[in-house]
Amino acid sequence: MSKTALLFAGQGAQVVGMGKDLAEKFPAAQAWFDRANAALGYDLTGICFNGPEADLTKTENAQPGIFLVSWIAFQLLKAQAPQLKYDAAAGLSLGEFTALTAAGALSFEDGLRVVRQRGKFMQEACDVTQGGMAAIIGLEEAPTREVCAEAGVVLANLNCPGQLVISGEAEKIKMACELAKTKGAKRALPLPVAGAYHSPLMASAQSKLGAELARVNLVMPGIPVISNVTAQAHGTPAEISARLVEQVCASVLWEASMRALIAQGYTRFIELGPGTALSGFLKRIDKSVTLLNVADAASLQATLTAL
């Protein structure tokens, strides 16, 4: 029996105009955008639809924006394909919050507000640290870990074979990129990010996020949701909260998470939200799985046809 997992986009997937054609074509989508604006008390929808890019890229807007568009993609898919059965969910970093919300662990409004605050806390941490990140292409995990140890940076994302992301102080990231090339990396590319996500430089955001999560009603998710920190399904609400706080500074074990789902018999993955980065990672993890996505009206239609 083939099983389906839902995947939710992470930060970096944001693009000006995201969600706009969904709102134009589906009144239900527009209603969710309106509901989000009301919950947050500002026009997040306008920033998603019209930018400017500098505003959308700000962590405190990008995170709730991606959460919102991913959530709407999920709602439209459910409404248009009521027969669809999905048995697990996962999300990259910020996307883990969307996955937990989709699985019923917290309400839409709570999820949206927590993600907005998370973005704000992470931005504050970025502002007081000189951090950066870089993608290391074509180097195995072991030599990349050696690079991190030598340069004094950390491994932030283990996305897929041949694509790892390092994080740390900006000057040390430059050094690490040079070291990675000497060890055989095809490319070592500094990323256009505000700071060193998933590194100890984000520590100041952790206690603030913990306090925020303590204010919301977290319950057991209705389906397994994979934790970025453990690459295993989340446990109790208290454990969910602890893992989400830990995740701010911890490595994102994305490849291990996908391999765990594939080992459990998941053969179809539906990526929800802007972009297709997660589908790209999965192609490099296992070419045999079926990949679908919902980012806009055209991809929604294509996915409905495939289903």
Q: Are 75 and 31 a contacting pair, CB within 8 Å?
A: no
93 is catalytic: yes
Query: Residues, the chain, total?
Result: 307
CA distances from 104 to 72, 237, 245 (A): 15, 12, 19
Distance CA 250, CA 229 (A): 6
* Residue for token pair 């027969």: 83
Distance CA 105, CA 222 (A): 7
234 is catalytic: no
Q: Would you call the peptide bond into 221 cis, given omega within 30 degrees of 0 as the criterion?
A: no
Q: Are 221 and 111 a contacting pair, CB within 8 Å?
A: no
Distance CA 46, CA 175 (A): 40
Q: Which of 70, 93, 199, 251 is catalytic?
A: 93
For 249, counting Cβ atoms within 10 Å of its Cβ (0-12 exposed, 13-18 middle, 19+ buried), the class is: buried
Q: Are 141 and 261 a contacting pair, CB within 8 Å?
A: no
Q: Which of 70, 198, 227, 257 is catalytic?
A: 198
Residue numbers annotated as active site? 93, 198
